[in-house]
Structure 1
Amino acid sequence: MEHLSTLDASFLQAEDSDPHVSLAVGAVSIIEGPAPDYDDLVAAFAERAQGIPRCTQIVHTRPFDLAAPEWVDDPHFDIAHHLHRIALPAPGDDAEMFTTIAGIMERRLDRDRPLWECWIIEGLADGRWATLMKIHHCIADGIATAQMLAKLSDDGAGETFAADIRAAQESGPSILGLLRPRLNPLDWMNGAWRATLAAAGAAEHAVVGAAELTARVLTPGQESSLNGPVTGMRRYSAAVVDLAVMKQVSRNFDVTLNDVALAAITNGYRHMLLDRGESPGPHALRTLVPVSMRSAGDFDVTDNRVSAMLPLLPVDEPDPVRQLEIVHRRLSRAKGSGQREGGDAVLAAAGNIPFALSAWTIRLLTRLPQRSVTALATNVPGPRGRQRVLGRKVVEILPIPPIALHLRTGIAMLSYAGRFSFGITADYDSAPDVDALARGIGEGVRCLAELGRAERRTPPDGAGRPIADAP
């Protein structure tokens, strides 16, 4: 039997700690109409689900957490338990769709069955329809979830933007590679010495990064309405921009695409806090940014392989360009400080202690209120090419993140076929202004695009911008 990793199982334990949260992730595919016959959809999805092991497996847990949970085949698997059909009330606009998405995602998945559902949503405006895939986070991280969703399309898993991520591009020699047998004893000794130095350097880098992550988790942030207990109800909203515009902004300011996205998110949160009558201070938006540790050879492996960084997003800065510059500097500093490697080392160490101890520790820690991290911003590389479902073109894909651990909002980003989507999940009672957050993100991208065009037209005067920064 295949066991869940410590990280995979932690999503089950975190869900156990709060009856108001559901740690399922999701994605909505908006598809050109008309919708196919429902029986044809059921037959197609039943066949394709059989090719994805996690779709027909259940989680088997051991009493008292004496061993890690296992994936076992469901002897009573029935596709009818996982496919559902719903229609939007007229006029079938974004508001109706977002309300339906929130209602579906706020309910927990049944652990007695494979941990996924697919909802066929009919009645969208302009004759469109949609599929909402809902998958428990213990099954997969963002990249693995995107691969699973692609396998349910007509063409199966194709090329995705995941090849652009850092972990997939790293191809330096491994320690085992440096120690591979050599005929020349001097070559072997040289390889052993290089391996020792590489291991020592990597370990030191990871230790520094782990210490930095720990310090940030233990440092309370600014009190704000973004933190606190959540209810059992959710709101959902989204902003969609052209990927070409995002790329042009990144070229204009010599930053990464992720920097542009986080700067736009900074703009959205800044305006949200100001509209709420709060002062966005320099420590108001410590943000959990998951980082993929998945190599290119593991794209088809269905599990969680992520670490994390915890940058402060500069909501205290009113100037959009300065926001972008500060985001770029802080993300570069976090990458260089070893936070990514430190988080990975902590997870690896957790996997080497008795499972019962790690499980009980996670349940205890996730029950405690945390006040250091305020938001979640995760970037998921989606398919490069246009997908189809039963011959119909998938026009848009909107990601859906979960919220937990006193984070009242979470944002997932997804690139797909020339579009870049921001999907926002929020607590129903404490974030009634989630649509304003989405508008603020879209306006942030548009503002940076306009400023970038103006800056390209203006000759540089040689005067640099002083940047007030914080760790």
Structure 2
Amino acid sequence: MTTMTEGEALLWRSERHPQRSATQTLLLILDRVPDQARWYAVHERATRLLPHTRARVREPAVPVGPPQWATDPHFDLAYHLRRVRLPAPGRMPELLKFAQQAAMAPFDRNRPLWEATLVEGLPDGKAAYLLKVHRSLADAAVVLRLLSPGPPPQPRPNRRSAAQLLTAGTTALAHPQAAAVNALHLVASMRRAAAPLTASGSPLFGGRTGSSWRYRVLECRLTDLETAARAVGGCVGDAYVAALLGGMRRYHEIHGVDLDAIPTSMPVGGHRTVATFAAPLAKADPQERIAAVHGITLSLGVEPALEVLPSVLPVLNRLPSAVVAATGRILATADLYASYLPGSPHRTRLAGALVERIYLFGPLPGSAVTAAMVAHAGVCCVAVTIDGTAVADPDKLISCLHEGFEEVLAR
């Protein structure tokens, strides 16, 4: 039995599925149906390497501390592995509909928090693999690496050790005035990381509840996106976000809404903390948008708040309300949430089947649209989760996002 980390406990206790969900859904397109015995074996191996996949969450009798991961004495791997066949014609629309319905079904909180489904009935003898996992258990990308051949991924070390945090605490007690000044600087950094949230939310996305998910996908060649980014000194992530913003701009123009910027959240600077900023919509030139996004992400990536927040979360929970409130603003609701995972440059296999595409569908953390791009074997696979209570025409929105990518790639 192990104790949840502060971050895991936050994801577990703050979830209100599906409105404030912590469920990630990984969708793989396979070139064929994998061998049943090998498919079972890779999951057997993965659950041995990641013990939490065989554990359930146990709350303390007195809720004053974090929950614990307790090994499920009745763990049954067969319960977590499902197999279905899509109805004809079994193409991408039918697959995405099945995936979004499966993702919206809540987990049984008395069992380990994951499910895997092998989907058959796709054209040309292909298959799909659907992995649904709660983020308190693990990131879906980590689980995918466990399912692949090769050594298991190594955990990332904490940027600040317990000894460093203890030293900081001792220094604060010895020099309270200096500590107060440093705290104010940290608050200012948090405000910059959570803002410039000067953009008003889109009137097209108001009244959303997050209770209805719509899955859609896009793709493009990684080399084309790299070329577009390099033309203005940016990176792939900048070009990706600029393409999303171009699509958002087109969508608002179609609906007669003139919007200069849109509140956007994304992981910044390699940190696991999310920053929220006013992303430019008014810039019609895609190269100008890439450059603008690049400048914003560079400035936010060096904010001290993004460096220390994951490490000092337990401390922040005991600080004055002003600091805690500033911390909460970093997770402020945005209209668009965007993330990018570099992925593998090489083709991979799952139980012998070739993985052709990888789509990672994120939840809706208060956003109207969540987009996640995974670069896999030279292809950028973009998974888009749309709040159906806010976007009445998701196909029109995805068409606009497609045009946004074409606009960026044409330069």
TM-score between both structures, scaled by the size of structure 1: 0.73
CA contact (8 A) 2:247 2:405 kept: no
1:293 CA displacement: 5.3
* 1:210 correspondence with 2:190: yes
* 1:312 correspondence with 2:278: yes
Deviation string for 1:325-370 (max 9, x for gaps)?
A: 222222223224x1xx314434433312669x99xx99xx89xxx9
Of residues 75, 78, 82, the one that matches 1:77 is: 75
Mapping for residues 15-414 of structure 1, pairs under 5 Å: 15-16=15-16, 20-33=19-32, 35-38=33-36, 40-63=38-61, 65-141=63-139, 145-155=140-150, 157=152, 206-214=186-194, 216=196, 221-279=200-258, 281-283=259-261, 285-291=262-268, 306-336=272-302, 338=303, 341-352=304-315, 373-405=334-366, 407-414=367-374
CA contact (8 A) 1:28 1:397 kept: yes
Distance 1:65 1:277, change over 3 A: farther
Task: Give distance in 2, aligned partners of 1:87 and 1:429.
Answer: 29
Task: Give distance in 1, aligned partners of 2:64 and 2:316.
Answer: 12
Deviation larger for 428-437 or 384-393 = 428-437
1:206 CA displacement: 4.5
Q: Structure 1: which 5+ residue stretches go unaligned? A: 180-198, 295-305, 452-471
Task: Give distance in 1, aligned partners of 2:275 and 2:399.
Answer: 26
Deviation string for 1:146-190 (max 9, x for gaps)?
A: 13212112446589xx9xxxx99xx9xxx97xx9xxxxxxxxxxx
Task: Give distance in 2, aligned partners of 1:24 and 1:448.
Answer: 31
Q: Structure 2: which 5+ residue stretches go unaligned? A: 168-178
CA contact (8 A) 2:269 2:300 kept: no
Letter of the aligned partner of 1:414 in structure 2?
V
- Indicate the SS of the match to 1:239: strand
Distance 1:53 1:93, change over 3 A: same
Report sequence identity in percent: 25
Distance 1:255 1:292, change over 3 A: closer
Distance 1:312 1:20, change over 3 A: closer
Letter of the aligned partner of 2:398 in structure 1?
A
Distance 1:156 1:425, change over 3 A: farther
CA contact (8 A) 1:221 1:373 kept: no
Of residues 425, 428, 434, the one that matches 2:385 is: 425
Letter of the aligned partner of 1:282 in structure 2?
D
1:19 CA displacement: 5.9
Distance 1:272 1:157, change over 3 A: farther
Task: Give distance in 2, aligned partners of 1:65 and 1:86.
Answer: 40
1:119 CA displacement: 1.0
Task: Give distance in 2, aligned partners of 1:229 and 1:107.
Answer: 19
CA contact (8 A) 2:30 2:357 kept: yes
Task: Give distance in 1, aligned partners of 2:137 and 2:83.
Answer: 23
1:63 CA displacement: 4.0
Task: Give distance in 1, aligned partners of 2:341 and 2:247.
Answer: 19
1:246 CA displacement: 1.2
TM-score between both structures, scaled by the size of structure 2: 0.83
Name the larger-Rg structure: 1
Task: Give distance in 1, aligned partners of 2:120 and 2:280.
Answer: 41
- Indicate the SS of the match to 2:381: strand
Letter of the aligned partner of 2:114 in structure 1?
W
CA contact (8 A) 1:264 1:440 kept: no
RMSD: 3.5
1:104 CA displacement: 1.0
